[in-house]
Chain A
């Protein structure tokens, strides 16, 4: 990492991070995109039973938010969690294996797409329950404070989750106990079919911060540098013992909510408009414009990501299914169920 002082007109991320770090960030964004495309393709080919929530279009939010975290820092994620998982350093092969329900997957085939977790990298898990991760993140921050680990927790959640009671209770406790947690709202405009206009009393989700006496800011979630600038500042505050913050990354999901979405609540024009603001294209341009990478290097990074995903799918395909006799393993830490 470089010095945090920014020369004029240089985007924050360019001045803050090394070329290697920035190229790695671009690679993670490609990995997310290609993971999601691979997942979608596997689904279409009938290889996957169940559902999935793709984060195509939201890659800058996931990767940008995690830039200043270490493996000791924690995240909690959501049903739309593949991107967060990659951003926090997960192994793509084990992610795909989980998606395919294999014993070699992160959850040994028990969890699937909606529960991928990698506690060894500080990823406490995706969540099938909207808002489920919010208080858990506060708990992780409480541990960090009591145990003096210096770790910060980033809590990812969607705009829809901000209307759950758990959101309000979690932010309040985080502030009252002055905990090192950053609430990152990925506002992609809709909770399933319901727009924020139809569901949420305030205009910006970050307006909610006022009620819990913490800093709140809204940024362009498709602008990698803007995301890192806001989230890094919040992480730093948390690290210094200055308590929680709320950052709202405004972004958009290109795909439907899940496999069965007919997109009846939004227009084709709206989707096309957001697709023209591809966060990966913008990131690649940022790196080329600032001479971090050449266009050829960008192409190599993308090709590298494609290769990793192909290998991951092959690994997942070859993996063994879990054994039926072991289905009640891990219900409890010791011994079997009654």
Chain B
């Protein structure tokens, strides 16, 4: 739990917060090692591991060859036998090459062996669009892993949670997949000093409101908060929930909010269909919260296409603040 006082105003970037979490974990626990492509002297493609190799050496900050399947599998095997690897996919897109070890092995080994072993591996996935890197370097594939029992899947949206969720992931005896949004790496925010964890499986109500509920993930939390400010000026009081973990999902927090507001928008960057929004909507539809709905649920997600290169197109295929505002205004009509 985060037990730190909010008077501590130290700010770090999201990338620095992740690095600090890894640094703290490595200092307290010899078993923690980092593995990934160009995470040593290069410092990671997004600079997340930075200079950790200087502090811990190449035995604990290991540059792997360009071998995602093998690398992920080595991390799984090491996790089964006493190490605590944190494996970085250079881009989440390249985790598709490692899916065998994630889906068939890491997720299932404990179950298949009747609980005889655990696989305490942590994997990091820099994901999302906005960098002009086009279709094979911009995807949001978190729903792929979230579909698999045996894995836990988190998406921190702030530096504070990026640190707390990584430390929680290391404490967790099961495989935890952390999807980090590339555009957030430079975002600054308050990060408590020292060791703390952010609970896996708990959403956060980041803005309280009474007129409608916006459930958002990752970078969309910030867009939702932006939109909520504009809405407030128009007399619409939005509640914003940062889902933070998508498996297991925090049912109670979402349902309580929907019971209160009666209106729901779910917003995420991944392709709209068959994703997080479908799950959140179904969770509401299958519960008593359904009776509280005053309007249909709205999902805002990515367009049904790969991420295009042209910057205007790239922007157009993921939800933006004006899209949220339009949805909220439509939803609020007749009530506010």
Contact indicator B133/A164 (Cβ below 8 Å): no
When distances are taken between beta carbons in the complex, the residues of chain A under 8 Å from B43 are 264
Q: Does B330 contact A (CB under 8 A)?
A: no
What does the 1/0 interface line of A129-154 toward B look like (CB < 8 Å)? 11110000000000000000000000
Nearest CB in chain A: distance from B206 CB, A: 30
A57 vs B63: C-alpha distance when bound (angstroms): 26
Q: Does B69 contact A (CB under 8 A)?
A: yes
Residue of B nearest to A101 (CB): B310
Contact indicator B67/A109 (Cβ below 8 Å): no
Q: Which residues 160-185 of A have a CB within 8 angstroms of B?
A: 160-161, 163-166
Chain B, interface SS category: loop
Of the candidates B41, B69, B97, B137, the one whose C-beta lies within 8 Å of that of A193 is: B41
B273, B310, B317: most-surrounded residue (chain A CB, <10 A) = B310
When distances are taken between beta carbons in the complex, the residues of chain A under 8 Å from B37 are 191-192, 194
When distances are taken between beta carbons in the complex, the residues of chain B under 8 Å from A164 are 66-68, 97
Nearest CB in chain A: distance from B120 CB, A: 25
Q: Does A338 contact B (CB under 8 A)?
A: yes
Contact indicator A129/B136 (Cβ below 8 Å): yes
A-B Cβ contacts below 8 A, count: 135
Contact indicator B38/A112 (Cβ below 8 Å): no
What does the 1/0 interface line of B236-275 toward A look like (CB < 8 Å)? 0000000000000000000000000000000000000100
Q: Does A120 contact B (CB under 8 A)?
A: no
Q: Does B235 contact A (CB under 8 A)?
A: no
Nearest CB in chain B: distance from A85 CB, A: 15
Given contacts A115-B309, A192-B37, A193-B38, contact A50 B134 (CB under 8 A): yes
Nearest CB in chain A: distance from B19 CB, A: 17
A121 vs B91: C-alpha distance when bound (angstroms): 31
Stretch from B110-118, B142-150, B221-229, B298-306 at the A interface: B298-306
Q: Does B40 contact A (CB under 8 A)?
A: yes
Q: Does B316 contact A (CB under 8 A)?
A: yes
Residue of B nearest to A200 (CB): B65
A40 vs B308: C-alpha distance when bound (angstroms): 21
Q: Does A10 contact B (CB under 8 A)?
A: no
Q: Which residues 44-90 of B have a CB within 8 angstroms of A?
A: 45, 63-70
Residue of B nearest to A100 (CB): B310
When distances are taken between beta carbons in the complex, the residues of chain A under 8 Å from B305 are 327-328, 331, 337
- Size class of the A contact interface (CB-based, 8 Å): 35 or more
Given contacts A115-B309, A164-B97, A327-B313, contact A337 B304 (CB under 8 A): yes
Residue of A nearest to B271 (CB): A337
What does the 1/0 interface line of A239-266 toward B look like (CB < 8 Å)? 0000000000000000000001110110
A265 vs B37: C-alpha distance when bound (angstroms): 13
When distances are taken between beta carbons in the complex, the residues of chain B under 8 Å from A129 are 93-94, 97, 136
Q: Does B8 contact A (CB under 8 A)?
A: no
Q: Does A210 contact B (CB under 8 A)?
A: no
Residue of A nearest to B134 (CB): A112
Q: Which residues 73-119 of A have a CB within 8 angstroms of B?
A: 98, 101-102, 107, 109-112, 114-115
Contact indicator A322/B310 (Cβ below 8 Å): yes
A82 vs B316: C-alpha distance when bound (angstroms): 27
Of the candidates A50, A109, A131, A337, the one whose C-beta lies within 8 Å of that of B66 is: A131
Nearest CB in chain B: distance from A245 CB, A: 23
Q: Which residues 139-191 of B have a CB within 8 angstroms of A?
A: none
Q: Does B135 contact A (CB under 8 A)?
A: yes
Q: Does A198 contact B (CB under 8 A)?
A: yes
What does the 1/0 interface line of B18-56 toward A look like (CB < 8 Å)? 000000000000000000011011110100000000000
A174 vs B125: C-alpha distance when bound (angstroms): 33
Q: Does A128 contact B (CB under 8 A)?
A: yes
When distances are taken between beta carbons in the complex, the residues of chain A under 8 Å from B310 are 101-102, 109-110, 112, 321-322
Instruction: For the complex of A and B, list the 10 residue pairs with the smallest distance between their C-beta atoms, beginning with the closest.
Output: A50-B132, A112-B309, A128-B136, A337-B304, A101-B310, A193-B42, A163-B65, A49-B132, A199-B65, A109-B310
Q: Chain A residues in contact with chain B, CB under 8 A?
A: 48-51, 98, 101-102, 107, 109-112, 114-115, 127-132, 160-161, 163-166, 191-194, 198-200, 260-262, 264-265, 321-322, 324, 327-328, 331, 336-338
CB-defined A-B contacts under 8 Å, sample of 25: A51-B131, A110-B134, A110-B135, A111-B309, A112-B133, A115-B134, A115-B135, A115-B309, A128-B136, A130-B94, A163-B67, A164-B67, A165-B97, A193-B41, A199-B66, A261-B42, A264-B41, A264-B42, A321-B310, A322-B313, A324-B312, A324-B316, A328-B303, A328-B304, A337-B305
